[in-house]
Amino acid sequence: MNTEQLLQQAETLLVAWNKESLRPDPTRLDAVITADDLRAATQAIHDANWGYLSAITGLDLGPEAGQMEALYHFCNGSAILTLRVRQSREAKAVVPSIAEIIPPASFFERELQEMLGFTISGLNNNNRLFLPDDWPEEVYPMRTDFKTAQAAPVPGRLADELPEEGVVGGNTFVVPIGPQHPALKEPGHFEFTVDGEIVTGARMRLGYAHRGIEKAAESRNWSQNLYLFERVCGICSHTHALAYSMGVEKLAQVEVPPRAQAIRELVAGLERVHSHLLWLGVAAHEAGFDTLFMYSWRDRETVMSLLEQITGNRVNYSANVLGGVKCEIGPEQAKAVKEGLNYLESRIRHYLEVVTTDVMFLNRTRGIGTISFDEAVKFGLLGPTARASGLVRDVRVEAPYGAYLRFPVSAVTETNGDLEARFVVRLKELLVSCFTMRTVVDNLPEGPLSVRVPRKIPAGEAISRLEAPRGELFYYLKSNGGENPARIHVRTPSLCNWVSVLEKAVGRQLADVPMLIAGMDPCFSCNDRMVTVARSGDRQNWSWEQLRQHGIEYYSR
Amino acid sequence: MKIGTMFKDVLESFFKKPATQIYPVEKVATSDRFRGKLVYNPAVCTGCCLCTKDCPSNAIELITLDRTAKRFVLKYHIDRCVYCGQCVTNCKFKCMSMSNEDWELAAIKKEAFEVYYGDDDDIKIWLEKLTGTNPLPGAVPISK
Amino acid sequence: MNTISALFSILIFPAGLALILVGMLYEWVDRKLVARLQNRIGPRWFQPFADMLKLFAKEQISPGSANPLLFFGLPIMALSGALTAALYVPLMGRPVVHSFPGDLVVTIYLLSLLTMSMGVAGWNTSSRFSLIGATRGLTQMFAYEAPFLLALLGPALAAGSWQISEINAYSANHWMILTQPVGFVVALIGLMGKLELPPFDAPEAETEIVAGALTDYSGRGLAIFNMGKSVELVVGLTLMASFYLGGVDGILVFLIKTVALLLVMAVFQSLLTRLRIDQTVGIWWRFGAIMGLAQILIMILWRGWL
């Protein structure tokens, strides 16, 4: 079914509750529904198996309008269905929780509660997600009338939420990990309840590295924001910048020249190589296989120096400008890219062999953390973690954007769903990437590098979805016609993947936990929302506490 | 199912040079496009200020001493700059470029992080004005 | 021998101070070899000495809930155990400092004293990581003691004595690595487990439990534990070299044989992934002990035939 048919299908599904239908874009359908009908509408979408919930955005329409809006984005291929629910700003803005129907929603809903002041009724876990414990009550940072002076910390509340340090009783005790721990690359707090070596429960608290980027974006102009969003994450920085640029270009209705799109795809491919090699090293280090760590990071230097030759920097490439790219690929760069890719491809094949045949490494990865296809769908997994369980969630294939229409990639999946499958998927993905990148370099279309984008972007809303190395990246941009954006919401892929790790950690040994965390390739910088599922024998509704790094990456942007 | 799959790599490394570079004794050459410290050429500047408008971190300030005579001084904060290169892209007259050799910018004093570009006399005049010793009539600084 | 020369050989050379210095040198060799195998440069020769000096200069922080006597006494006990065990092995190719029949068993147990001190040290504090590290360390010790002892028993049986100096003399004419290869392999792997070298470093898995049993140690205590570990390294290597590699009877021979062994251990360290604690125990109780026993049995039968 093509996009138009999918959207028609969605419209028919919602006919009972839909107050108003809008088509802002050929790929998007907005359906305005009331808060009371939300659950019924969501149930209908879920039962018909129409797509998956990708993100929930909260908007503050301002004190004059007196209302706030919650946008529930469902994605199916290229089609995006958004349910728009408006509530009054003053009267607590009650919206029912849809977490029982779609478990991953609890993450997003907790963010809405915390940042904007919605009241999500029926949500089990009302703990702070990103904001620190000593943030004052009833102060909502993402509201348009928020003043920094309101955010004075309330004394005496820090660390209150954390339970007392491991109580040794019987055979179980709690092992705290973080906020400072050599295993954590970013701060986060995890608590594992262990019985000997077996993990019986996991809790986590995120929010230690929140930077307020989303709020900061509202006071910078469109061009400045490009560099702000690039720094959401160091290793997926190009993808963030690309998602932002694509959103702005959609709003401004400019067409990026094909040469720029191809160069963007090339840099994105190199970034994927960079990211996966880094991840391979980190995961090997967590397993205790330091040699693989050293060698894969040595080979990562090759890709970083390629990126330096093309874009001018090894990390945070800043290759994009609004309307195109800054860096040209001449014959010299093309030659260097191809030589680099040849070397990298042979090394990647070697690592693939190591990872699939080394007996001792397989002891740490085979059969561990298995997630079945159905569980992957239920948890709402994204990216290579989902593809390892056979669930094809790859935006480059389902909803191709930019140069992927011209230079497509194929999705790589495995069926086992265990840690080994995740390694295999990522390495095979790199081989596909290398092949595609060679094709791009050999067939770069001619043309200008960028097109002019006005300083004042016309009013409207845009959604851009991209495939970051870790999964689907979702950007929602809203403009009021000015030089600064009105609202930018980012939903990063690692957020959705955490749930699976926590769920799978229970019952395994403590020694497997670092590998499980590494297996989902958490990007702590990107993680803006981590849902912590408190688990202590009884299953709660999605408030997973995470183990290991839970990098809170960022709270509100 | 093998054991010791990286044996070949490990064996070869005895005969290869180690991959570590002994910085600062050995320095890798940066590529031509590497974005190091910003360099400004006041001779071609027209004072349009497009560069300062789009800087994400307010790292550059253009001070106009005399617009018609094209006397400008650029104040550059090395510590605020994120080395993105947007100013270079924005400038239509090619006054800005990023050096690929000057990137070791750590310093122990804060003063080292404020750099002035321009004609020497112009800079002197501006600095004197700042400290109030020699006011220049009619000069209007463009600050952010 | 009179008291002065006895004290000298116990405290200064070849045991005691000289041994500590040699131990740190061997630690450097190990780190350098592993680094080169990983295509890196590795530390310079004075790194372990610099580390030790730095640790001595730092403040020692003791956790409030730890028993102070144990906290300060355990590192000393660990080091003394290792140093005492060294008195019975032919260090640096020189004749043993002291020797009596049955000193093989004493040496092995004195070496275990170090592991047990670390175990008690981990239990002593309230940190969760230390407790897990201590538990894993002691579990691993149970896994390795038996196969290691069995593997050292082989040469002892062949030499017909429990005295290390006599076994050493016997080995000079018989290279037991050739006559008892299985025993050699078991002993080598057993030694790596005893020293908690990767892949058997689950008790101090940095990415899981910070630093294992020694998490709460800093300053002098940590420095002394580290010295104990490096002494254990030298003693273990000397034992292996004197039993299986044709004895040590001169400083040059000692150096060559022990460094060759260290090279083999470094290759193992870099090739293999860390094993989980249940996997190490599983593998070694099933295969290690059986192989060790089998070797002894073969030897006994062989001798019986002769």
How far does B125 lie from chain A, in Å, by closest CA?
32
Number of domains observed in the structure of chain C: 1
- What confidence tens digit (pLDDT) does each residue in C55-107 have? 999 988 888 888 889 999 999 999 999 999 998 988 887 888 888 888 899 99
Q: Roughly what angle, to the nearest 10 degrees, separates helices C219-244 and C128-159?
A: 20
Cβ-defined contact of B33 to A310 (cutoff 8 Å):
yes
Q: B20-141: which CATH architecture? A: 2-Layer Sandwich (3.30)
Which DSSP letter does residue A149 get? G
Average pLDDT, integer, range C119-125: 88
Q: Which of C128, C207, C270 sits opposite A183 (nearest CB)?
A: C207
Q: How far is CA C175 from CA A553, C161, C245, C246, in A?
A: 60, 16, 6, 5
Rounded to whole angstroms, how far apart are CA atoms A81 and A58?
A: 16
Considering chain A, tell me which residue range(s) the CATH 1.10.645.10 domain(s) occupy.
222-484
Nearest CA in chain A to B58: A224
Q: A3-148: which CATH architecture? A: 2-Layer Sandwich (3.30)
Cβ-defined contact of B10 to A309 (cutoff 8 Å):
no
Cβ-defined contact of A363 to C276 (cutoff 8 Å):
yes
Average pLDDT of chain C? 87
Nearest CA in chain B to C38: B10
Rounded to whole angstroms, how far apart are CA atoms C292 and C145?
A: 11
What's the pLDDT score for residue A348?
95
Question: What subunits touch chain B, counting only 3 or more CB pairs under 8 A?
Answer: A, C
How far does C186 lie from chain A, in Å, by closest CA?
18
**pTM (2 decimals)?**
0.88
Rounded to whole angstroms, how far apart are CA atoms B103 and B111?
A: 17
Nearest CA to A557 among A235, A223, A70, A210? A210
Structure tokens at A556: 């509100």
What's the pLDDT score for residue A158?
67
Cβ-defined contact of A288 to C274 (cutoff 8 Å):
yes
* C-beta of residue C171 within 8 angstroms of C-beta of residue C243: yes
Mutate to test the interface with B, among A263, A318, A343, A362 (most CBs of B within 10 A): A318
- Residues with Cβ within 8 Å of C171's Cβ and at least 6 positions away in sequence, in order, are C155, C159, C242, C243, C244, C245, C246, C247
Q: Which of B4, B13, B22 sits opposite C38 (nearest CB)?
A: B13
Q: How many alpha carbons fall within 13 Å on the CB side of residue C65?
A: 9
Query: What residue numbers bound the domain in which C96 lies?
Result: 3-305
* C-beta of residue A73 within 8 angstroms of C-beta of residue A55: yes
Nearest CA in chain C to A174: C128
Interface contacts A/B by beta carbons within 8 Å: 76
Question: What residue type is assigned to position A251 of the chain?
Answer: L
Q: Is the peptide bond before A176 cis (omega within 30 degrees of 0)?
A: no
- A330 vs B contacts (CB less than 8 Å): none
What's the pLDDT score for residue A122?
86
How far does B17 lie from chain C, in Å, by closest CA?
7
Which DSSP letter does residue C172 get? T
Rounded to whole angstroms, how far apart are CA atoms A143 and B78?
A: 34
- What confidence tens digit (pLDDT) does each residue in C126-181 have? 777 888 888 888 888 888 888 888 888 888 888 888 888 888 888 888 888 888 88
Give the number of other CB atoms < 10 A from CB of residue C57.
Answer: 10
The domain spans of chain B are 20-141
Q: Which of A295, A305, A359 sits opposite B3 (nearest CB)?
A: A359
**Does residue A332 sit at the B interface (CB-CB below 8 Å)?**
no
Average pLDDT of chain B? 84
- B15 vs C contacts (CB less than 8 Å): none
Cβ-defined contact of B13 to C36 (cutoff 8 Å):
yes
Cβ-defined contact of B5 to A312 (cutoff 8 Å):
no
**Does residue B26 sit at the C interface (CB-CB below 8 Å)?**
no
How far does C283 lie from chain B, in Å, by closest CA?
15
| Cα A339–chain centre separation | 32
Structure tokens at A56: 């929930």
- What confidence tens digit (pLDDT) does each residue in B116-129 have? 888 888 888 888 88
- B9 vs A contacts (CB less than 8 Å): 291, 295, 350
What's the pLDDT score for residue C20?
93
Percent of chain B with pLDDT over 70: 91
Q: Are strands A119-121 and A94-96 parallel, antiparallel or unpaired?
A: parallel
Cβ-defined contact of B82 to A291 (cutoff 8 Å):
no
Structure tokens at A491: 């939903």
What's the pLDDT score for residue A300?
93
Interface contacts A/C by beta carbons within 8 Å: 79
How far does B18 lie from chain C, in Å, by closest CA?
5
Cβ-defined contact of B19 to C272 (cutoff 8 Å):
no
Nearest CA in chain B to C40: B18
pLDDT tens, per residue, chain A with 557 residues: 788 999 999 999 888 888 889 998 889 999 999 989 999 999 999 999 888 999 999 999 888 888 899 999 999 989 999 999 998 887 777 889 998 888 888 888 888 888 888 888 888 777 777 888 788 888 888 888 888 888 888 877 765 444 444 444 445 677 777 677 776 677 777 777 888 778 887 777 777 777 888 889 999 999 999 999 998 888 889 999 999 999 999 999 999 999 999 999 999 999 999 999 999 998 888 888 889 999 999 999 999 999 999 998 998 889 999 999 999 999 999 999 999 999 999 999 999 999 999 988 888 888 888 899 998 888 888 889 999 999 998 999 999 998 999 999 999 999 998 999 999 999 999 999 999 999 999 999 999 999 999 999 999 999 999 999 999 999 999 999 999 999 999 998 887 887 777 778 888 887 787 788 778 777 766 664 333 333 333 322 222 223 332 322 222 22
**Does residue B47 sit at the A interface (CB-CB below 8 Å)?**
no
- B85 vs A contacts (CB less than 8 Å): 312, 318, 326
One-character DSSP codes across A263-313: HHHHHHHHHHHHHHHHHHHHHHHHHT-HHHHHHHHHHHHHHHHHHHHHHS-
Cβ-defined contact of A358 to B2 (cutoff 8 Å):
yes
Q: Roughly what angle, to the nearest 10 degrees, separates helices C219-244 and C17-37?
A: 80
Three-point CA angle A463, A321, A327, nearest 5°: 130
Cβ-defined contact of B89 to A309 (cutoff 8 Å):
no
Q: How far is CA B104 from CA A159, A162, A316, B39, B60, in A?
A: 41, 43, 18, 15, 19
Predicted ipTM of the assembly: 0.86
Question: What subunits touch chain A, counting only 3 or more CB pairs under 8 A?
Answer: B, C
**Does residue B20 sit at the C interface (CB-CB below 8 Å)?**
yes
Cβ-defined contact of C276 to A361 (cutoff 8 Å):
no
Per-residue confidence at B136, pLDDT binned at 50, 70, 90?
very low
What's the pLDDT score for residue C261?
93
- Higher pLDDT: C209 or C268? It is C268
Question: What residue type is assigned to position A249 of the chain?
Answer: E
Cβ-defined contact of B20 to C41 (cutoff 8 Å):
yes
- A194 vs C contacts (CB less than 8 Å): 132
What's the pLDDT score for residue C34?
92
- C204 vs A contacts (CB less than 8 Å): none
Unique residue bearing structure tokens 């954006």: A485
Cβ-defined contact of A226 to B9 (cutoff 8 Å):
no
What's the pLDDT score for residue C306?
61
Per-residue confidence at B26, pLDDT binned at 50, 70, 90?
confident
* C-beta of residue A394 within 8 angstroms of C-beta of residue A467: yes
Nearest CA to B91 among B62, B121, B131? B62
- Residues with Cβ within 8 Å of A166's Cβ and at least 6 positions away in sequence, in order, are A173, A174, A175, A176, C128
How far does C239 lie from chain A, in Å, by closest CA?
28
Nearest CA in chain B to A297: B19
Average pLDDT, integer, range C233-246: 90
Phi, psi angle pair for A59, to nearest 5°: -125, 140
Pick the CATH number of A222-484 from 1.10.645.10, 3.40.50.300, 1.10.3720.10, 3.40.47.10: 1.10.645.10
- C271 vs B contacts (CB less than 8 Å): 3-7, 10
